[in-house]
Amino acid sequence: MIRRSLNFVIRGLILQNRIVKLLKKDFYIEFRSRASINISLAFAGITTLSVSLTSATMNLPFRVHSILIWVIIFFSAMNSLSHIFIREEEEGTSIFLSIHSEAEEIYIAKLLFNFILFIVITVVVTPLYLFFMQIWPENFIFFASSVFCGSTALSSITTTLGAIVAKTSMRSSLFTVISFPLTIPVLWISINLTASSLEGGSVDLLNLLFLLAFSGVIVSFSYLLFKFIWMEQ
């Protein structure tokens, strides 16, 4: 019994070590080129400025603000989330990666990378938007939680879809087509939660939990199915 649990712990540590190595590799490459993060942040900045330039003087309802925040976050992130997998395909390193690492390790490393990237984009977009549009959420903790839970759910689903499009012939155009119908429930609920938090509504724990549960379900299934996407069967 002790031996079995010891084996389990050792295997867990090895897996963790390999995931950290893969994650480090992705960050080193990204840091060197800064391709996806630069494009995403530039896109986020330009769209936020454009929106505020045209509508800052208008007295928009909170629901419209919430929709605009999520549209900017969603499309800024869309530019870069599939890039992590597409880069492996374009540079011809995907086969090496498949030989060197287990599918589960690759999936977790890429998921963590995308999650961090999404949070960075959100951290840039949201304060910029609030600053330029001159609004302040009535319930800040609820607002931050809604943005965080929405980002977690979106990054979990788009990671798997990013891996799928990387294997196709029409990558960037297909990513929006296949991800849009599956991200709708998350966007729908996130927009409602953010609007409610801007209006100063009470914390909607059920919908926040739904977003986290959605992420959990998608990550679990993707963890099991990732080998069918990434590895040659």
Partner 1 sequence: MFLYRLVYILMPIGIFLSLLWVPPANILGDASRILYFHVPVAWVSFLAFIIAGIHSIVLLIKKSDIPYREAMAYNSAAIGMVFTVLTVITGSIWAKVSWGHFWNWDPRETSIVILMLIYIAYFSLFSALKSNPNRWGISSVYLIISMIIAPFLIFIVPRVYPSLHPDTIINQDKKIHLEASMRITLFFLVVTFTLLYGYIYKITNKLSLIIIKLRSSHDI
When asked if residue 229 is in the footprint of partner 1 (CB under 8 A), the reply is yes
Whichever of 14 and 184 has its CB closer to partner 1, that residue is 184
When asked if residue 209 is in the footprint of partner 1 (CB under 8 A), the reply is no
- Give the range of 59-67, 78-86, 118-126, 215-223 binding partner 1 by CB under 8 A: 215-223
When asked if residue 84 is in the footprint of partner 1 (CB under 8 A), the reply is no
When asked if residue 64 is in the footprint of partner 1 (CB under 8 A), the reply is no
Whichever of 20 and 182 has its CB closer to partner 1, that residue is 182
Candidates 16, 36, 222, 223: give the one binding partner 1 (CB under 8 A). 222
Minimum Å gap between C-beta 143 and partner 1 is: 21
For the record, the structure tokens of 12 come out as: 């867990």
When asked if residue 205 is in the footprint of partner 1 (CB under 8 A), the reply is no
Q: How many residues does the chain have?
A: 233
The one-letter code for the residue type at 37 is I
When asked if residue 168 is in the footprint of partner 1 (CB under 8 A), the reply is yes
Residue that has been written with the tokens 């993707």 in this structure: 222
When asked if residue 177 is in the footprint of partner 1 (CB under 8 A), the reply is yes
When asked if residue 95 is in the footprint of partner 1 (CB under 8 A), the reply is no
- Give the range of 40-48, 50-58, 99-107, 212-220 binding partner 1 by CB under 8 A: 212-220
Whichever of 37 and 229 has its CB closer to partner 1, that residue is 229
Can you give the three-state secondary structure of the chain, one letter per residue? CHHHHHHHHHHHHHHHHHHHHHHHHHHHHHHHHCHHHHHHHHHHHHHHHHHHHHHCCCCCCHHHHHHHHHHHHHHHHHHHHCHHHHHHHHCCCHHHHHHHCCHHHHHHHHHHHHHHHHHHHHHHHHHHHHHHHCCCCCCHHHHHHHHHHHHHHHHHHHHHHHHHHHCCCCHHHHHHHHHHHHHHHHHHHHHHHHHHHHHCCCCCHHHHHHHHHHHHHHHHHHHHHHHHHHCCC
Whichever of 118 and 175 has its CB closer to partner 1, that residue is 175
For the record, the structure tokens of 19 come out as: 């995931």
Candidates 46, 140, 188, 216: give the one binding partner 1 (CB under 8 A). 188
- CA Rg value for the chain: 19
75 neighbors 43 (Cβ within 8 angstroms):
yes
Whichever of 50 and 168 has its CB closer to partner 1, that residue is 168
When asked if residue 167 is in the footprint of partner 1 (CB under 8 A), the reply is yes
Our measurement of the distance from residue 18's CA atom to the centroid of its chain's CA atoms, rounded to an integer in Å, reads 22
Residues that bind partner 1 (CB under 8 A): 157, 160-161, 164, 167-170, 174, 177-178, 180-182, 184-185, 188, 214, 217-218, 221-222, 225, 228-229, 232-233
